[in-house]
């Protein structure tokens, strides 16, 4: 077998060129790729079902009542679609992120029609996190008309978050 190695590291599973992974990827993505190309048929079916569910979650509705699921696939669309957008950069393993999650859900319901809240998993979407130089999580980035107007790092009380977000969206320092 002959492979054109364009970058290191590059992983090819079982000699299947389509399985090629270039560069460093989160461990979970590597495991999924290995199982996709070397796993059982049952696992491949399960992966297809998970992919369908993910695609459904990625659909952005006009006036969401709940937190939206933001990924590299729909991030730019979300910036264009929602005038006021707050994106929570988080990870499954992050305890402060888990503590912040119910607060984000409450803020989303309380600000329905005014501010849309989204969640972006940094392990599954490293390019967006890198683009916005997210170095610590949880990080909330506040966007107004597609432009970043502020950033909040760390877990805080609901009232403090609401005040900071409102100030960022209205331009109050």
Q: Which residues are catalytic?
A: 94, 97
CB 121 within 8 A of CB 90: yes
Which single residue is written with the structure tokens 């994106």? 87
Q: What are the two backbone dihedrals, phi and then psi, of residue 118, each rounded to the nearest 5 degrees?
A: -125, 155
């Amino acid at each position: 077998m002959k492979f054109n190695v364009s970058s290191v590291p590059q992983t090819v599973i079982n000699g299947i060129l389509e399985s090629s992974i270039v560069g460093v990827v989160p461990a979970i993505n590597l495991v999924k790729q290995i199982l996709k190309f070397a796993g059982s048929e049952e696992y491949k079916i399960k992966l297809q079902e998970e992919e369908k569910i993910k695609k459904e979650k990625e659909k952005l509705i006009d006036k969401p009542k709940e937190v939206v699921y933001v990924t590299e696939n729909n991030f730019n669309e979300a910036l264009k679609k929602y005038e006021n957008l707050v994106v929570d950069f988080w990870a499954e393993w992050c305890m402060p992120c888990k503590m912040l999650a119910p607060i984000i859900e409450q803020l989303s319901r309380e600000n329905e029609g005014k501010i849309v809240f989204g969640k972006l998993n940094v392990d599954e979407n490293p390019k967006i996190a890198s683009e916005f130089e997210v170095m610590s999580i949880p990080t909330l980035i506040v966007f107004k008309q597609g432009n970043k107007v502020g950033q909040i790092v760390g877990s805080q009380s609901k009232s403090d978050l609401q005040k900071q977000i409102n100030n960022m969206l209205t331009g109050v320092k």
